[in-house]
């Protein structure tokens, strides 16, 4: 079983207004304004009395979603095999063990809290999804992406690119060694900050089968203020986006450990950035 079709997501801060966009202070909402909107949407959701695992694609507190979500029906692909023949491909030999260690890409050691992030990719029945390409990208410990569109004045780390990939094994397990990312500002509203997170991309048996999501860290004080995370109005679905600290995964004197399973579909599915 493979991920269902979903639009690709650019591995940058592009899911939100970029740092190069100049804010208009007279028009920008404050965090208080956004928090009120978040509360209003949550109350509306609770009154409806229906479990909704995925948020509305035009969630108003997440300002850019009003312009970015699709308004037209999906285009049917008449010959999926023809699409695959003309699209990008990858082979097992293209993915090496080094790709899964984001701390080894530079000439020196990156700055920050080293950690292991691992988990299993599962289908709705809890069965492992084997041989799936899992890609990650993230900000560095200072909260900045190694990308030209990120103009946040936090320092870049010359020893950290923030990108990695691996294939799931026979148990559906992925594993990365990386640095805990920092929070960063974004211009959704005045004084907006994103909680620390790692972006995940999963491919099925083809590049047209791609799912994109985000993993967060337990106890982050920014959770309540983030309209992207709060757009997942169902409490249980939102909690599934937060990794669990696992002391058994720690490497003595080297790295802490976090575990995060990804469920592709069904009632316990992990929230996916559909249409964003």
Active-site residue, from 13, 189, 199, 276: 199
Helix locations, the chain, DSSP H: 31-48, 65-68, 80-86, 227-230, 235-239
Choosing from 13, 197, 210, 238, the catalytic residue is 197
Select which of 59, 62, 174, 184 is catalytic.
184
The answer to whether 145 is a known catalytic residue is: yes
Q: Which residues pair with 202 in a beta bridge?
A: 134, 211
Cα gap 117→248, rounded to integer Å: 12
Residue of 165, 194, 238, 276 marked active site: 194
47 Cβ partners below 8 Å, 6+ apart? none
- The values of phi and psi at residue 176, to 5°, are -130, 145
Lookup result for tokens 């063990």: 97
Maximum pairwise Cα distance, the chain: 55
Instruction: Point out the catalytic residue in the list 145, 174, 225, 258.
Output: 145
Q: Residues near 210 by Cβ (< 8 Å), separated by ≥ 6?
A: 3, 5, 6, 7, 8, 201, 202, 203, 204
Q: Are 170 and 113 in contact (CB under 8 A)?
A: no
Would you please indicate which residues are annotated as catalytic (active-site) residues?
145, 184, 194, 197, 199
């Amino acid at each position: 079983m493979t991920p269902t079709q979903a639009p690709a997501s650019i591995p940058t801060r592009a899911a939100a207004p970029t740092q190069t966009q100049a804010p208009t202070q007279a028009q920008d909402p404050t965090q208080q304004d956004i928090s009120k909107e978040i509360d209003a949407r949550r109350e509306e959701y609770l009154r409806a009395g229906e479990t909704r695992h995925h948020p509305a694609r035009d969630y108003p507190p997440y300002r850019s979603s009003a312009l970015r979500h699709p308004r037209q029906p999906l285009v049917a692909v008449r010959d999926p095999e023809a699409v695959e023949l003309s699209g990008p491909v990858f082979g097992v030999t293209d993915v090496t063990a080094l790709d899964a260690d984001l701390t080894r890409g530079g000439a020196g050691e990156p700055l920050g809290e080293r950690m292991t992030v691992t988990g299993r990719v599962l289908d709705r029945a809890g069965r492992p999804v084997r041989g799936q390409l899992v890609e990650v990208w993230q900000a560095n410990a200072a909260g900045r992406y190694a990308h030209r569109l990120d103009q946040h004045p936090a320092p870049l780390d010359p020893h950290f690119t923030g990108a990695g990939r691996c294939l799931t094994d026979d148990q559906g397990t992925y594993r990365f060694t990386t640095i805990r990312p920092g929070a960063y500002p974004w211009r959704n509203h005045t004084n907006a900050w994103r909680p620390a997170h790692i972006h995940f991309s999963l491919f099925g048996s083809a590049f047209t089968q791609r799912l994109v999501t985000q993993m967060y860290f337990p106890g982050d004080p920014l959770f309540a203020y983030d309209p992207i995370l709060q757009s997942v109005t169902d409490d249980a679905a939102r909690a599934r986006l937060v990794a669990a600290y696992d002391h058994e995964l720690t490497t003595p004197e080297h790295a802490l450990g976090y575990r995060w399973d990804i469920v592709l579909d069904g009632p316990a599915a992990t929230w996916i950035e559909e249409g964003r």
